[in-house]
Amino acid sequence: MKKIVWCEPTGMANEIFDGAVVVLSGSGGGLMEADFITEAIERRFLETGHPQNLTLVHALGIGDGVASGISRFAHKGMVSRVIGGHWTWSKRMQKLAHENEIAAYTFPAGVIQTLLREIGAGRHGLVTHVGLDTFADPRQGGGRCNARATEELVEIVHLGGRELLWYKPFKVDFALIRGTACDPQGNLTAREEPADMEAFAAAMAAHNSGGRVFAQVRDALETPIVPAREVLIPGVLVDCVCLNPDQHQTTASKYDLTISGQIAAPNVRTQQPQPEGTRYLIARRATKELEPGKCINFGFGIPDGIPAIAAAEGLEISWTAIEQGAHNGDLLSGHLFGAARYPSAIVKSTEQFDFFSGGGIDIAFLGMGELDAEGNVNASWLGMDIVGPGGFVDITQCAKKVVFCGTFDAKGLKVEHKNGQIQILRYGDIPKLVPKVRHITFSGKRARADGQKVIYITERAVFELMSDGLQLIDVPDGIDLHRDILERIPFPVTVSPEIERRFTQK
């Protein structure tokens, strides 16, 4: 019978060799983050200059947004290539990409996670529709984000008369994962964690590539994990484990069993705080797009305020699902987005992305950076730095209905809401409706071909994607149709007959 090998994190760090491919499993806010290990790797590099020239792979943003997670590797010379799904959790890594110090790639988070599963299964990479006509498509850059990223990591293929993307496999040398506890056989459980994430897929990819799996846990168990169904990672996949008794469940606290699904929801729930200001105006209008009996996804930012408004107004939300794996519950926001209080189910995020890819989401509410005449949305590369899509592409491309939420313009926008009227006191300095988006995170062309219903909500205007472009379908009271909307859009839009009649009558 196999017995677990216990290691100190410094010993694990010493095993990471120059040029290795390292996979980080986890999500932002400390969810399933093996920071005890990554901190030791960073410390070794700062002291010795090794390991260097690593390839770092991560599907979602990882860390506290400042020093941990992805930022542990954000030192000149430490990494030479990053394949990341969400970059904003490390300003330092974004800077390295901007300055061409690394080869920078970004892919949809679900693509990265399920590619790891395919690598672990020994299959020839991932073949999928996810990413077609977006930045991940070779015709739109193939995920490359700077001049140093020259290798083609994705190709177009045709199977059964259908156009698809082939994301190429690679060898994984190390997977860094974590759990709550480890038993004498090396089995890991995540029973007190908010999510399972892609830990199993990452471990399998490394193990079956001939690489190594390093795990971090809070507890060392003296007896086998029971029931056996609570084992997330079987010991056969684990090479060595380090113990961190001070391990935190998230960056907010040590362990809260209400977000690990171990405490049932009370009959009377605490009212969640509602968004304020412009965020409230947009989120409240978005609640009109809710439909009973549907499976809903809420994204990070403005959309994560919709459930609180819906609850306050007695609106039904039948079922929710987020990419980290939680179903239902009270969604947490900010740095803890990805966890839910009192979830009714938690599945592996790789399986959640399979559910999304097959069209399991009925309505998705997501944020919006830029919007153009074709109905394309950019949420993955704004300003100077790579943002990355996270689960945005996987969700929006496959949901039956998509509702984008964002301000009409940015930087300096001031809006007043008084007596049921909305007035724009100051326009933003940065237009968000542009002739052509910089990065296609959502493809209007693909949406029309697939028959998706697409709505775009701002504080002063609501648009719908039609066969010939955008149509203005709603304007709140107090807004001037021409001065506040039409004269500030750098491309033609149609106006619905209802809006035409309303403003003609005025």
In the DSSP assignment, the letter for residue 368 is -
Distance between CA atoms of residues 148 and 1, nearest Å? 47
Active site residue 323: yes
Is residue 217 within 8 Å of residue 235, measured between CB atoms?
no
Is residue 179 within 8 Å of residue 188, measured between CB atoms?
yes
Is residue 73 within 8 Å of residue 355, measured between CB atoms?
no
Phi, psi of 317 (to 5 degrees): -120, 110
* Three-state DSSP string of 386-448: ECCCCCHHHHHHHCCEEEEECCCEECCCEEEEECCEEEEEECCCEECECCCCCCCCECHHHHH
**Tokens matching residue 488:** 């500030």
Distance between CA atoms of residues 445 and 496, nearest Å? 21
Catalytic pick among 289, 323, 370, 459: 323
Strand pairing class (219-220; 295-298): unpaired
Distance between CA atoms of residues 137 and 163, nearest Å? 11
Number of residues assigned to the chain: 506
Strand pairing class (377-378; 370-371): antiparallel
Distance between CA atoms of residues 132 and 142, nearest Å? 10
Distance between CA atoms of residues 7 and 459, nearest Å? 54
Point out the residues that are catalytic. 323
